[in-house]
Amino acid sequence: MARFDGKVVLITGIGGGMGREAALRFAAEGAKVVGCDLIADGANETVDLVRAAGGDITNFAPVNLADAGEAQKWIDAAADVHGRIDVLYNNASMPRFGAVDELSIDDWDYVMNNELNLVFYACKAAWPHLKKTAGVIVNVGSIAGTRGVEFMPQNAHGTAKAGVINLTQQLAVEGGSHKIRVVCVSPGFTVTPSTEWLVESGPQPFKDNIARIPLGRVGQPEDIVNAALFLASDEASWITGINLVVDGGGSVLG
């Protein structure tokens, strides 16, 4: 028996990076994956990769989860594919950065919509389905949600991710009586198509910061997905409301 045999796992943002890795790994562990992404091309490539590896995946793209109506439609359609939802993995997000005196109000609103609101919309739409299955929500936060840094003007991004972490805690309480578990994985710097340029061309304070990571390397998508697989599985059946930091120890540095 694989850990997710017979389980229906919804994953947002499967077009690349951690979302693609999650689709591959959950499918390899027996899950029937139902994914979505704003960008169809990357999501279709992920579908090909999962199927080539013998996995079961259904894809809906393009879907803009920052639109509450589209998020509801996607969840409803995804639930219909196999008649249930066991896991909702809220991976998708899209940040914008700018110092407080430079970031526009539109950009602030964009970040709230594309990093926090989309998580709430998907959770809310999936909740009735998860009540039926005693399901699990895995949210993706960030170490940005619990600190400030000098190398990235991440006021909106960090605030949104702090919201994701707290939403996880509150939904864990609200879900307890339904046996719904709600957990959060907070990555440190992880190499994905969106971030790989920083390794070569990032500002020096950023390079200095990653050079100090106690475990001596930056993250890879599998580091994050390994944690998500555990938290979504029955092995974590007495874990809820947690924010599991996966960052090589970087965020405990003074």
Query: What residues make contact with ligand NAD under the rule CB under 6 A?
Result: 12-13, 15-19, 37-39, 42, 63-66, 91-94, 114, 118, 140, 142, 187, 189-190, 192-195
Residue closer to ligand NAD, measured from CB, 71 or 132: 71
Task: Give min distance, CB of 253 to ligand NAD, in A.
Answer: 16
Q: 44-61 b/e with 16+ CB inside 10 Å = b? A: eebbebbeeeebbbbbbb
Q: Whose Cβ is closer to ligand NAD: residue 79's or residue 164's?
A: 164
Question: Which residue's CB is nearer to ligand NAD, number 134 or number 253?
Answer: 253
- Closest contact distance (angstroms) between CB of 195 and ligand NAD is 4
Give me the least distance between CB of 6 and ligand NAD, in Å please. 26
Contacts of 147 (CB under 8 A, 6+ apart): 158, 251
Q: Output the smallest distance, CB 114 to ligand NAD, in A.
A: 5
Pick the closer one to ligand NAD by CB: 17 or 55: 17
Q: Which is nearer to ligand NAD, 135 or 248 (CB)?
A: 248
Closer residue to ligand NAD (CB): 28 or 94: 94
**Residue 177 CB, nearest distance to ligand NAD (Å)?**
28
CB 146 within 8 A of CB 187: no
Phi and psi at 137, nearest 5°, equal -110, 125
Secondary structure of residue 107 in the 3-state scheme: helix
Token couple for 17: 């990076």
- By beta-carbon proximity to ligand NAD, the closer residue of 89 and 127 is 89
Phi, psi for residue 169 in degrees, rounded to 5 = -65, -45
Determine contact, residues 87/58, Cβ cutoff 8 Å. no
- CA-CA distances (angstroms) from residue 50 to 20, 22, 154, 162, 249? 9, 10, 34, 32, 31
Euclidean distance between CA atoms 188 and 100, whole angstroms? 23
Shortest gap between Cβ of 159 and ligand NAD (angstroms)? 13
Phi, psi (degrees; rounded to nearest 5) at 179: 60, 25
Residue nearest to ligand NAD (CB): 17
CB of 78 to ligand NAD, least distance (A): 13
Length of the chain measured in residues:
254
How many CA within 13 A on the CB side of residue 248?
19
